[in-house]
Amino acid sequence: MRDRNPVDLIEATPFQSKPEHNVHGWERASSVAGGVIMVGKGLRRGGLFGLVQIAIGGVALARGLTGHSATKSLLEKNRRDFDAARTRIERAGEELGMLKSSAQAATGTATVTGNDSLENPKVS
């Protein structure tokens, strides 16, 4: 018999999946408060600039209510990619340093036969 129910394995369908919450605490509360203020100011002001204020306030309000910011997700992803690239570069630098010290150790004990001098080259 099986131990798990196959229905329990499905976490959510694509239509039910919720974006991760990446806005928490004071940041979320500030977004809601700022969004309400901006929408209110935009409604009182009217005109083109009022519409701009309403739009900005709506985005901030949605960010605070949903707890998700696509912009913040993008910035966090770029930061993770940058950190991964930095780690790979540092690892490559360490490997290069080890190769250099290995090459220096190998050439330090090498013996040279013939005239390989740069000051007194062979004359043909």
- The pLDDT of residue 108 is 73
Q: What is the mean pLDDT of residues 24-37?
A: 91
Whole-number average pLDDT of the chain: 82
- The pLDDT of residue 41 is 93
Confidence of residue 1 (pLDDT cuts 50, 70, 90): very low
- The pLDDT of residue 86 is 96
Q: Domain map of the chain by residue range?
A: 21-67, 69-98
- The pLDDT of residue 36 is 95
From the number of C-beta atoms within 10 Å of its C-beta (0-12, 13-18, 19+), residue 23 rates as buried
Q: Would you say residue 11 has pLDDT above 90?
A: no
- pLDDT tens digits, 31-77: 999 999 999 999 999 899 999 999 999 999 998 998 888 888 888 89
- The pLDDT of residue 68 is 86
More confident residue, 109 or 16: 109
